[in-house]
Chain A
Amino acid sequence: MVTELGTTTVETRRQPLPGTRSTHGSGGVRADPSRRGRAPLGWGGAWVLAVLLPFWLSEGQLSTATFIVIGAIGALGLGVLTGFAGQVSLGQAFFLGVGAYTAAVLGADHGWNAVLWIPAAGVVAAMFGALIGPTALRLRGLYLAIVTIGLVYIGQNVFTNATSLTGGPEGRALPTVHFANWLDFSAGNTLNLGGLTIDHNGLYYYLGLLLLSLSALFVWNLSRTRTGRAMQAVRERELAASVLGVNLARTKVTAFVISSFLAGVSGALYGSFISFAQPGDWSLTISIQYLAAIIVGGMGTVMGPILGSIVVFGLPDVIQNLSFVSQNGGGGLSATDFASIVYGVLIIVFLVVQPEGLMGLARRIPRRLGCSEGSMPEQRGDPPRRMTAATTKPEDQQ
């Protein structure tokens, strides 16, 4: 770089700024990308458990488990939108519905294979997400939340009116998943794998688990890279994030697109599993359930929505079996009422007492057990016990 001062030419050699050398060359400090080495092991174990689970469950319980894994996909999506990016949305039900009806139209009306209509459901829902996303640019916080409520109502109204696509208020049948003749999820079919028999519920369970695992992996990767960081920065301080170089529009719309894609897939699977869908299914109550799932599980985390889904979507099964709940519309406390009351109370309790949700509790367990690896320093200002290579002074290595 050459500067001219009067008649003298001075050559100044600019040193690269701290923190820049390594991206342009080799050497420098090596950063450890997998700081939390222990955590994935725990989740891996849980995953294995999830794979083996169906063999210990009864028919009804497996059905509930299937609802849980399918719902968890949608909850994961809401976790990205509201948990990471901080965009309050009560519109998840709408995207679920879009996914379900896409599956219906493509799978049943046009005979597409499930291997196509499942992702298609996600894509169509994502397209709507891309349309709605820009409203988050003009509207903040509570304004956005209420617009998403409007979205659910408008959606239900449209679903009810679009009889040719949705079957109107009475609803319509949804296609069951059919990959091939030997891999058909229809009720009554079973799959025989070397001695193991997997029935309708089990097949949906494993499909749901597979898609959930892939989605969770995707979201986990997002959380530890540029995109996820940007979303969290936008959640905390939009204006500052923007001044630091984050593209608000792209970040918010991306969050909507990912969230609605997952909701679309979740809705399609749900509708396919029960082989039916009606406009009343995609109500504000459902959106609130998803919100409850991410609150209970822990907002801003990857696994939180999944934990929360276990509670929220597993609840109806537990409630059905309670003695003081009336069965099948008899007098007394109905199951839906009680479930709603419990959701409401759960939301309140968790937000007041345990805002980090179940994940907050889960994180404390390793500490209680005495593992210090990967834990954060408790005291303010004290450096953590683990030192990075950068801070080890040469004198120490005598």
Chain B
Amino acid sequence: MSQPMLSVCGLGLRFGRLTAFEDVEFTVADGELFAVIGPNGAGKTSLFNVLSRVYEPFAGRVRLGERDLLRLRPRELAGAGLARTFQNLALFGDLSVLDNVLIGRHHLMRCGALRDGVFSRRARREERAHRTAALEALAFVGIDAWADTPASTLPYGLRKRTELARALAMEPRVLLLDEPVAGMGEGERSEISELVKRVHGEHGVTILLVEHDMGMVMDVADRVLVLDFGRVIACDTPAVVQRDPRVIRAYLGEGLEAA
């Protein structure tokens, strides 16, 4: 039995006296596409924030492969193979799209200030190689034509793609996608859906997906975790979860037809 890529055990988060979530427990296998759903305020993004070491949980354990995730500092996550996109986007607006993606390559580059400043041969090689890599990531999500555009001037959909490209460029083993299709139109949703499937299928990346779009979730996910008021109420394949009465009551309303 191989070790799961991510295993979460008894995880709990509080803000003062408000409990964001409690007793959250699940494992994600290597290469799985694992969705986290739940009504607004259920604690999904907070869960991601705990996994990204932004919030400190009051209880629980998290293992990323062999490592104790809760021992890592935020900046060590990239090296440990964890990348994420953000619900409200966290692009560096003044920087170009390409530079944004290159920040994703930061942890894979080795040159320090001195080598960079004199633009040594090593720095030049690194720059060239990683720029190429970044452009490929941009090409993958379809926006390499905008490489030199300042990120803040792009429309929402292109910015979301930039963030996806940046996360991919980090060469993660585990990818946390926080509502990658939120606020997008029909056509774009299916395009991004396809991209996510490609990343998952062709490149075998373990993906954790927070999403509201049930159609997308049922389409791409291997398993689904359902949160409601900070508690896990179901964790199974999409087909099973869809029919779980507790889930229907809490989140999906009366009887769901998969879109």
Contacts and interface: CB of A to CB of B under 8 A. Distances in A.
Contact of B135 (A29, A225, A376): A29
B44 interface: no
Contact of B203 (A16, A377, A388): A16
Interface stretch (B9-17, B63-71, B97-105, B184-192): B97-105
A19 B133 contact: yes
Given A246-B75, A246-B106, A381 B99 contact: no
Contact of B107 (A240, A245, A254): A245
B207 to A, nearest CB: 12
A300 B101 CA distance: 19
Contact of B106 (A3, A16, A33, A226): A226
Nearest to A218: B117
A182 B173 CA distance: 63
Contacts of A240: 86, 90, 92
Interface in A9-30: 12, 14-23, 28-30
B1 to A, nearest CB: 7
A221 to B, nearest CB: 4
Interface string A246-261: 1110000010011000
B112 A18 contact: no
Tier of interface size on chain A = 35 or more
Given A243-B52, A245-B170, A29 B139 contact: yes
Contacts of B83: 244
A47 B22 CA distance: 64
A74 B99 CA distance: 27
A240 B109 CA distance: 18
A127 interface: no
A232 B92 contact: yes
Q: Which of A4, A16, A23, A226 has the most chain B CB within a 10 Å cutoff?
A: A226
A245 B75 contact: yes
B145 A20 contact: no
B85 to A, nearest CB: 10
Main secondary structure of the interface of B (DSSP, over half): helix
B150 A376 contact: yes
B203 A15 contact: yes
A222 interface: yes
B136 interface: yes
B92 A233 contact: yes
A242 interface: yes
* 4 closest cross-chain pairs (CB), A and B: A245-B78, A245-B107, A19-B137, A240-B90
Given A4-B2, A232-B95, 15 more contacts: A14-B204, A17-B168, A18-B136, A18-B203, A31-B131, A225-B123, A225-B126, A226-B102, A229-B102, A230-B106, A233-B106, A240-B92, A244-B107, A245-B78, A383-B145
Interface of B: 1-2, 30-31, 52-54, 73-75, 77-79, 83-84, 86, 90, 92-95, 99, 101-104, 106-109, 111-113, 116-119, 123-124, 126-137, 139-140, 144-150, 153-155, 158, 165-166, 168-172, 199, 202-205
Interface of A: 1, 3-4, 12, 14-23, 28-31, 33, 35, 218-219, 221-222, 224-230, 232-233, 235-237, 239-248, 254, 257-258, 300, 376-377, 380-381, 383-384, 387-388, 390-391
